[in-house]
Structure 1
Amino acid sequence: MPANAITAIVVSHDSAEVLPACLAALAGEGVPTIVVDNASGDDSRVVAAQRGARVIANARNEGYGRGNNIGIATAATPYVLVVNPDLELRPGAAAALLEAAGRYPDAGMLAPRIVEPSGRLFLQPRSLLSPSHLNRSRTMAAPEGDACLPFLSGACLLIRRELFLALGGFDPAIFLFYEDDDLCRRMRDAGQALVHVHEAEAGHGRGRSSTPSPQRRFKTRWHLAWSERYVARKYGLPQPSPVRTLENLAKALGYGLILRREKMFAHAGSAAGALAWGRGETALAREGLTALP
């Protein structure tokens, strides 16, 4: 792998449990890492520093996209590798991604094959932001080699840094969810290919980046509902039906009556995010953040 070609960016928030394996895999690939810590309440910063990562300690939780913007702006290599803390690169993955970037100069972003704990290959066949003719069914066949796809998962992305900065990075108005879809859409609109690299592989824990709790479930579902409406408006797409909000309110009440707290918080969060959007509230205001990270 060429020296000084790539820097990994890992955004952490209460990720101390999964960071050691993630950072060990990056170190094994010879990839220097910047950990952008979003005000963790656990030992994420200490864990990252002990394992040789450069740590940027945010005073507040800036969210996924904004945290990556901070790390990528700090990096000085031609390529950056965005990596979720619950993802582990398999041996040779970083080199395979860089080699593919050389083969495909029109690729703005490249991603490895992402394998879930069950052994299933994770692909993103559909997106709210994709034209209908590019959306695929959930039974789409897995690529048998390198392939151009309409969208790539933000769990692991090799990105040409100058292009990322020229496009404005991840949308700073989004705190969580759809920021990777939005970036993929803008890359494609700019004429850049999105390439799935067969020879690069990574394991992904999906949803293990932070310790789960009912309150965190409420927050994530709030942002999912809000961000869906934000990107729909951004690209002139139909807004979700108000009926969905009523259904989530009813489900939250029903699960509350039978003391199913996890599901109650989840549906309540979805309804609250939708209602907040309707009132004109922003995701940044909810988190006490300003327009720019």
Structure 2
Amino acid sequence: MNQRIVSIILLNYNSHQFTFDCVDSINEKTQDVDYEIIVVDNNSSPDNYTALEPVASRPNVRLIRSRINLGFSGGNMLGIQFADPRVDYYYFLNNDCLLRTNVCSQLAAFMDATPDAGVCGAQMFAGDGSRQATFGYLPTLGSKILGHSFVRMLNPALYPPIRHIYTEPQRVPFIMGSTLFVRASAFHTIGGFDVAHFLYVEEEDLAKRLLMNGFYAYLIPQAEYVHFTGQSTNPSYDVEKEYYISLFYYFRKYHSWTERALFRAYYFIKNGRKFRRNWIYARLAGFIWRGSPMRESLRYRQVIR
């Protein structure tokens, strides 16, 4: 049997050292698959890109430079255009990650044996070695208003416990975006990532569209990786706004007008009641009340270099 072909796509944004370490861990741990590493620089600063360029001399690496920041979805969609056309699986891996096991071979073997799997992911660990949540729940009114504990009692198969330590593959609602191992044929069928998502909610949207086409998401706990969370994004009001821009775009795609109005009220209250903790929450509440307009996304403030 021929080895499976895996295209591993990493995005770099002003974080070249993480990219070097990630690439080295991939080359060290990956066996029994035919793989390539495509590094997409998402318009880093000139100095950072210059520091990144030597990564192209690492084994199996191709470096691509974008003149604008395409965000998570757009950057990965740029990367797949340079992937081997014979690819069986894409592995969209955050550059601030290190593999602990032979992840690509483990996930490919599971996908080979599980025809209804559209996406799967390895078990996440933090830099201090602690086990981290690797999947989440798709946003629904029931889960937001009634709480996850209540809806889990009603439908435990749809809401598996996030903090449980799993020892066998587990079907889950969606896999975190730092470790998306995707069946290429299914990914092609749904048209890939929706590039209207700039920074957040891409994994929920991907899982939702795969599910609508008969493919499920799975956690594979035997495969393990370390994620040094959030090294490429500095928290700020503008970045927090991006989450709600993407979230309400998701709601507009999959929920009715009435449901969207209730979601807006829920998140308005959720943020507004925390204004004493930090004034940023009051600003976010106002932004949500205005409908989280996409025109205020950071993507539209860019100047092409």
C-alpha contact 2:269 2:285 (8 A) present in aligned 1 = no
Q: TM-score, normalised by structure 1?
A: 0.81
Answer yes or no: is 1:34 the counterpart of 2:38: yes
Alpha-carbon offset, residue 84 of structure 1 = 0.2
Answer yes or no: is 1:222 the counterpart of 2:222: no
Answer yes or no: is 1:68 the counterpart of 2:76: yes
CA distance in 1, matches of 2:24, 2:181: 18
Letter in 2 for 1:149: V
Which sits farther off after the overlay, 65-74 or 78-87?
65-74
CA distance in 1, matches of 2:141, 2:169: 20
Alpha-carbon offset, residue 240 of structure 1 = 2.4
Q: 2:166 aligns with which of 125, 143, 147?
A: 143
**Cα distance per residue 1:165-216 (max 9 Å; x no partner):** 21011111110110111101111121112121132111111112x163xxx5
Q: 1:24 to 1:268 in 2, by over 3 A?
A: farther
Alpha-carbon offset, residue 251 of structure 1 = 5.2
Answer yes or no: is 1:121 the counterpart of 2:132: yes
- The CA RMSD measured in Å over matched residues stands at 2.9
Map of 1:87-102 to 2, 5 A cutoff? 87-102=97-112
CA distance in 1, matches of 2:140, 2:81: 26
Alpha-carbon offset, residue 91 of structure 1 = 3.0
Q: 1:155 to 1:272 in 2, by over 3 A?
A: farther
Q: 2:226 aligns with which of 203, 210, 226?
A: 203
C-alpha contact 1:248 1:270 (8 A) present in aligned 2 = no
Query: Helix, strand or coil: the match of 1:165?
Result: helix
Q: 1:225 to 1:188 in 2, by over 3 A?
A: same
CA distance in 2, matches of 1:90, 1:130: 37
Q: 2:254 aligns with which of 219, 228, 235?
A: 235
Residue in 2 that maps onto 1:274:
288
**Cα distance per residue 1:73-111 (max 9 Å; x no partner):** 321212111100011112322111111111112211121
Map of 1:154-169 to 2, 5 A cutoff? 154-169=177-192
CA distance in 2, matches of 1:269, 1:176: 19
C-alpha contact 2:55 2:63 (8 A) present in aligned 1 = yes
C-alpha contact 1:154 1:180 (8 A) present in aligned 2 = yes
Residue in 2 that maps onto 1:256:
none
Alpha-carbon offset, residue 269 of structure 1 = 7.0
C-alpha contact 1:124 1:153 (8 A) present in aligned 2 = yes
Which sits farther off after the overlay, 222-231 or 269-278?
269-278
C-alpha contact 1:108 1:160 (8 A) present in aligned 2 = yes
Q: TM-score, normalised by structure 2?
A: 0.78
Letter in 1 for 2:43: A
Q: 1:61 to 1:110 in 2, by over 3 A?
A: same
Residue in 1 that maps onto 2:216:
193
Residue in 1 that maps onto 2:19:
19
C-alpha contact 2:198 2:299 (8 A) present in aligned 1 = no
Structure 2 gap segments, 5+ residues each: 144-154
Structure 1 gap segments, 5+ residues each: 254-263
Residue in 2 that maps onto 1:57:
65
- Give the paired residue count: 273
Taking only the aligned residue pairs, the percentage that are identical comes to 24
